[in-house]
Chains A and B, each alone.
Chain A
Amino acid sequence: MHTAKTLRDYNKDIRAALDNAFLREAMDKFATAYPTGRANAFREYDVAALIAKVAEVKDQGLKRLDGLFAQFKAEAEKRGVHVHLAKDAAEANALVTRIGKEAGCRTVVKSKSMTAEETLLNHALEAEGFEVTETDLGEWIIQLRHEGPSHMVMPAIHLSRYQVADLFSQVTRQTQPTDIQRLVKVARRELRPKYAAADMGISGANFAIAETGTIGIVTNEGNARLVSTLPRVHVVLTGIDKLCATLEDALHILRVLPKNATGQAITSYVTWITGANPCAAAPNGTKEMHVIFLDNGRSALAKDPLFKQVLRCVRCGACANVCPVYRMVGGHAMGHIYIGAIGLILTYFFHGKDKAKTLAQNCINCQACKNICAAGIDLPLLIQEIRARINEEDGRPMSSALLSMAMKNRKFFHGLLRAAKFAQKPVAEGGYIRHLPEIFAKDHGFRALPAIAEVPFRDRFARLRPQVERPVKRIALFSGCVQDFVYPEQLEAALQVLGRLGVAVDFPMEQSCCGLPLSTMGEKAAAQDVARQNMAALAGDYDAIVTLCASCASHLAHGYGHLLGDSPEVQAFAAKVMPFSVFVSSLNVAPERFQQTMERATLHAPCHLCRGMGVTEEPRQLLKTAGYEYAPAELEQVCCGFGGTYSAKFPGVSENILKLKLADVARTHAETLVTECPGCVMQLRGGAIQHGHGFEVRHMAEVLAAHLKDK
């Protein structure tokens, strides 16, 4: 459970997680197994269409939550169920306590409910003298260990069979085996008497269907069936966002949820309960049944034009499954109670700014979660927005405010970058900063940082500009700051390629940083400012605005719309933005123009290219056309761990993601690792040098220039 208030403390927790060998191994195995399982489960389906429909179904429901609640209440009450609405966690816990006391209950069995985790219900009940037992195996394990879940679907994924065996030995006062099948049976036998003795059962709900007043519970173990059957009182605690209009709505979500969560076509059990059912343990033979809907900020959220989409979440947990940060640190270091990308967001709304402040920084903005979300939520964007909100409420950190101020004024900002060249002089050696100041050394030494170039690209352009007689296309080149000031040679290579291919290139001097770092730091006003400056600078009559930086491309093409509103002007601008490989591909260059050396090369797909821009095929084809043997890497589309300012904030995580990536590249035996983003080049090249890997790291423009013949 994340509680660290400062980045420093948070990094200590992260270090501990990174050093936990079992956790790392468990996370690695899971990260490798999950995508295959999911792909199998969806094989016969059009996943994008299914997800779009989940989003639509949820959005329709969220528009009329009040109406659905009223309808559910009427239908359920007609059938003898007590329906309650709790405005916050305290009220929900008080309601459950009151129900338990009035019915004379003392013992409670629970099946898994993230909502009950959200309200810390167990603590509240135990403080009132109830004896509470979790019956979901994973939940029971973490309850016995007094921990929170480390995954929303697999709460004890951070623990080994040895730890569980020790725990069960303590509970049974007998030595227990470390064989998993036997441990499961021990749990079965130990928990059975708890059901038998319990007065009250508490469950969550995945669906609350308004038309019939029915709740739906999705489980694999079947414990929710016993929890809702054996005790004489059943209390359901669920968020109001689980309301849906019809059975069909629920069935549609059900088609996606288990597949996205665990790669199962459906869970072993789906339980639909309407009304007060028969119960032999109840005095009158009928169950006392309550449904408590928790608001806790949800109805306000439903009215927020941007954030309402977080209520689409069906708690499948997939946004953690694919997150490279989660893979490195696990759920306890990447969530307060809710885990993963959605956890970074929900923590702010449900558990407050203090808990969310450092947590919300721990996203590398790789877009993997957005790509996999069962409900089509733009999670990375919302995480950035959370940072902006926290900045607004809290006053910004000094560094963020300074950067923002500097970047609003292009000349000043570029002046700073030029000055940095002199500041780093004593430590720059062969283009790399070899010795970092002591204070950073321990954690930042993992990659060799490049030095600021002697002469930035903008000062070289006039001299290098290709003379093209009858251009096939006219483009504006957008450099981004890293290429301009650190890797001008990548832009030079691009100029050679474009010139030989008959493209007229312009480099508008008023362009500045694309503004993405400002957005990720939550500096929204400055980000808007910079966006307007760039749009003005690039306003000429160009066929395309081409950039060699995937992050810039995706920010120009998608980020500006979000920052400035989707006006026709912004749309027209965005439509012209093209990543370098996409633009070159559009020229349909014949392989004969390239020397076909068939050197072995592999690709790293920058996050903002493959997910941000949806570009995957063009770079592969281009590489083949340009005379390289393309050797695919298994983790081609996994983040390199850079993430701009992320690597400075969380060096430990960044370093470990990088190591994972480099080892994967090495397995391809490629001579060259090709990518299309200067940030990725910086991270990967530095790491490759540091760890003595034999392959070279080059930008796509450079490998094309190396093979392109003159005519």
Chain B
Amino acid sequence: MEQSAIVARFRAKAEAVSAVVSEVETMAEAVAYTVDLCVHKEACQILVSGCDESLSPVGRDLCGLKEWGKIIAAPGIDAATRELLVARAKENGISVIENGLREHLGGVDIGFTVCQYGIAETGTLVLDSVSEEVRLATMLGEIHVAVLPKNRIAPTAESIADELRRMLGRNPNYLAFITGASRTADIERVLALGVHGPLELHILLVEEA
């Protein structure tokens, strides 16, 4: 299969599980997209009606919104991208954090990550998550924005089995396959997104990494 066909398949499969997929030319564009998304999103989407949802006292305590303003968590990205992101976020009054995510268990606005591979068969992202901060960013972000270089999309998981095995064989390793947002159908089989992780998954297919 041509790479363009593989990319198209990836896109179709990811969109089928309600991921929002866009194509961008450069990392700078990806950063701009992310900050823009953060600016326009509501402050706290987990709560349907802001911070006065009926919760037990402990549930309420975790909400750190008032102290921090909006936050983008972007652990494990290269220095150049980080510089772009911080500059752009600052202009818009948004904080960027790289670590210490345990302080934000109530949630952050966006988790921003760069993925190692994509799997077209199922529209799946492959993300090396050895870093605890990466794991938390992809779970605590109300929106997960994942950047994926187009040339890293493989037709099937088997077609990159050797690369995956090499990653798995590292000591230690924590590898995540992510396909769409966190979901449940545990109450009356009705689909609900964002049960423990992100409400939305945005995938940015980037031309050059």
Contact = CB atoms under 8 A, between A and B. Distances in A.
B158 interface: yes
B122 A185 contact: no
Given A188-B195, A189-B59, A195 B171 contact: no
Contacts of A26: 188-189
A164, A176, A275: residue with the most chain B Cβ atoms closer than 10 Å:
A275
B59 A193 contact: yes
Contacts of A189: 46-47, 53, 55, 59, 62
Nearest to B192: A184
A154 interface: yes
A274 B158 contact: no
Nearest to B106: A192
A153 to B, nearest CB: 9
A29, A171, A229: residue with the most chain B Cβ atoms closer than 10 Å:
A229
B172 interface: yes
Contact of B102 (A80, A268, A281): A281
B173 A278 contact: no
Interface stretch (A208-216, A332-340, A420-428): A208-216
Interface in B49-71: 53-56, 58-59, 61-62
Nearest to B169: A212
B149 interface: no
B165 A274 contact: no
B179 interface: yes
Nearest to B164: A247
Contact of A229 (B46, B121, B135, B171): B135
A174 interface: yes
A582 interface: no
A248 B138 CA distance: 26
Interface stretch (A133-141, A296-304, A550-558): A133-141
Contacts of B180: 268
Interface in A599-631: none
Interface residues of B, number: 61
Contacts of A209: 168
A38 to B, nearest CB: 14
B131 interface: yes
A647 interface: no
A185 B173 contact: no
A193 B195 contact: no
A368 to B, nearest CB: 20
A662 B66 CA distance: 62
Nearest to B56: A172
Contacts of B155: none
B165 A180 contact: no
Interface in B173-193: 173-190, 192
Interface string A161-205: 100100000011111100011111111111111011000000000
B62 A196 contact: yes
Contacts of A246: 165
A224 B171 CA distance: 20
A171 B55 CA distance: 9
A489 B124 CA distance: 61
A253 B187 CA distance: 27
A135 B197 CA distance: 12
Interface stretch (A259-267, A538-546, A559-567, A692-700): A259-267
Given A138-B187, A184-B195, A186-B53, 9 more contacts: A141-B186, A185-B47, A188-B196, A193-B105, A222-B139, A226-B139, A264-B17, A268-B180, A270-B177
14 contacts: A157-B189, A159-B187, A172-B59, A173-B56, A174-B56, A185-B53, A209-B168, A221-B197, A222-B139, A230-B105, A269-B178, A270-B124, A270-B176, A277-B173
Interface of A: 26, 29-30, 33, 78-80, 135-138, 141, 154-157, 159-161, 164, 171-176, 180-193, 195-196, 209, 211-212, 214, 220-223, 225-226, 228-230, 246-248, 251, 254, 262, 264-281
